[in-house]
Amino acid sequence: MSARKGLVCLLACLVAGGVAIAAGDADASAGPVLRDADGLHILSQRQLDPRLIELSVKTSALPDPAGIRILLPSDYARHPHRRYPVFYLLDGTSGHASDWTTMGGAEQTTAGRELIVVMPDITLNGDGGGWCTNWPDGAERWETFHIGQLIPFIDRNLRTRAGRNGRAIAGLSQGGFCSMSYAARHPDLFATALAYSGAPDIYYDADARAGASLIINATEFGLTRVAPDTFFGNPVSDGINWAAHDPTTLAPNLRHTRLYMYFGNGFPGPYDSGAPSPEAMGIEGAVWRDNIDFHNRLDALGIPSLYDPYGNGTHAWPYWARDLRWSIGPLMRDFAHPLPVPRTITFESADDAFSVFGWTVQMHRSVREFATLQDAGRGGFTLAGSGSGTVTTPPSFIAGRPYAIVLQPTGARRALLVRRAGRNRRLRFDVPLGPSNPYQQDTAQAQAAGTHVYLTHVTIRALP
């Protein structure tokens, strides 16, 4: 972190050599040749050493090319039929895709492991980053790049264990926010999520909300060179969008995810030689408070986690490299002993449409607010929100067979639908809730009028 960034960098980070070859021209003996796919166009591919590949890619989701580094297992070429789990590893504010291999010891720590490590940019040209969101103005769409494009690109190009139990995600500082936010927004994609000095609470708790707003504004204006409130919108008028990406708000979605948090308290520790950096001390001290808020929320919900407030330590690479060394063993054990697919799922989202574990919900309402799919399984579910929702089930039914769908809105009359499962073995039907709320959730108007939540219980059973 360069000193010239000064105070802005302090605030922003709080939550915060091979041979070039043209795409498609690599010698297969030097490593796999990756191809364009899923919205990513490869500008260059470099084989930096027998395990390490560097890519530059162009995507319509971002205005400039993005970098990606990939570490392959040492035996990848020798076992052409073997598939490997994938560990997505994110850098931090003003970082680069190369950071984990140049400063974090990722190549040494993962040596001998049956693991693919993917390290994408979360910033453009080392700026402040975009906080892993699709910006409201559409100028940068980081979630589209990381989730919608990069994951299928990797699964298409490499021999991965494609699926939730074959993926984990981690990040440092801002990247730690990203890893927890992505896991909470997409719990069906990652079985394990880790944060190293991360920022998992930007909205839920009042103290975190005030600090995060200041820090993120500083990142926007001072480092990414865009107007304040670009990443999430204004926290007063667009608070719902902050909440919709906040891991602490979305903590109930993490019930079936293995969680690891590592962070210090900001006091000089074993890797701080001489006079430690005041900004590294201040940043980690604030990270300590943020993680405690997140952990308290998990505890209140009865969600287990490995919570390691390891004591003295500042916001610096030697600690994150150690975090990676500490967590690689538990991570590999998680891959070796995958979690079962949950029999029922509960998921909340403020997006107008969302998909999770094979369920798809399209909400129909006048304003943006949270909706919740509760205890969803083959026998039914409860939908909570306002307006109505169109629900498509997972492919759990017999194609062509009729099913009775009983809709029981709270305080209203029961209704009966009959639907046949399509060739895709799914059912699709509308679920009425109640009058749409007139004001967007988490605005002053909504707080005055109240955001009404209506529930409809749905039962599904096969007909003869």
Q: Could you read off the pLDDT of 339-363 as tens digits, one per residue? A: 998 999 999 999 999 999 999 999 9
Look-up of token digits 């906040």? 246
Average pLDDT over residues 407-416: 94
Average pLDDT over residues 264-289: 93
The pTM of the full predicted model, rounded to 2 decimals, is: 0.93
Helix and strand numbers (H, E) in the chain are 11, 20
| Adjacent-strand bridge partners of 44 | 56
pLDDT score at 274: 81
How many Å apart are CA 459 and CA 464, to the nearest integer? 16
Residue 26: half-sphere exposure toward Cβ, Cα within 13 Å: 24
| Adjacent-strand bridge partners of 259 | 193
How many Å apart are CA 391 and CA 389, to the nearest integer? 6
Q: Could you read off the pLDDT of 151-190 as tens digits, one per residue? A: 999 999 999 999 999 999 999 999 999 999 999 999 999 9
Provide the mean pLDDT of the chain: 93
- Domains, the chain, with CATH or none: 3-336 (3.40.50.1820), 345-462 (no CATH)
**Cβ–Cβ < 8 Å for 71, 120:** no
Q: Could you read off the pLDDT of 2-41 as tens digits, one per residue? A: 333 443 343 344 333 343 444 443 443 468 999 999 999 9
How many Å apart are CA 258 and CA 247, to the nearest integer? 14
How many Å apart are CA 20 and CA 48, to the nearest integer? 9
